[in-house]
Amino acid sequence: MFRPNIGIVNALIRITCGFSVLAWATSKYCKKPWRDAYLIAIILGAMKVGEGILRFCPITYLFENRNSYFFEDDDEDYFDGDVEEVTYNPS
């Protein structure tokens, strides 16, 4: 499935902040349910709690995979000055 990509301290901070945002937004949303901003804050707070419990952050996962993918095929040949230029005939 997936492996945890954030540490214990990071997970505890996410859970704490997520529950705080969730409690604040829920109390505000009960008084003014027509405000969409509180609903978005509820969703974001719940997402942070979920990330902390699972110890998996999808943004961290994307950044880890992006860096390994782009820099995987680095060669010294790209930086040499005497590399011949190859032209392609499209016909």
Comparison of pLDDT for 75 and 14, the residue scoring more? 14
Comparison of pLDDT for 15 and 73, the residue scoring more? 15
pLDDT mean over 6-18: 96
All residues at 6 or more sequence positions from 11 whose CB lies less than 8 Å from its CB, including other chains: 4, 51, 52, 53, 55
Half-sphere exposure of 25 (CA within 13 A, CB side): 18
**φ, ψ for residue 83, nearest 5 deg:** -85, 130
**Tens digit of each residue's pLDDT (9 = 90 or more) over 24-74:** 999 999 999 999 999 999 999 999 999 999 999 999 888 888 765 544 555
pLDDT of residue 28: 96
CB 51 within 8 A of CB 22: no
Collect contacts of 77-85 with beta carbons under 8 A, ≥24 apart.
none
Question: Where along the chain do its domains lie?
Answer: 8-72
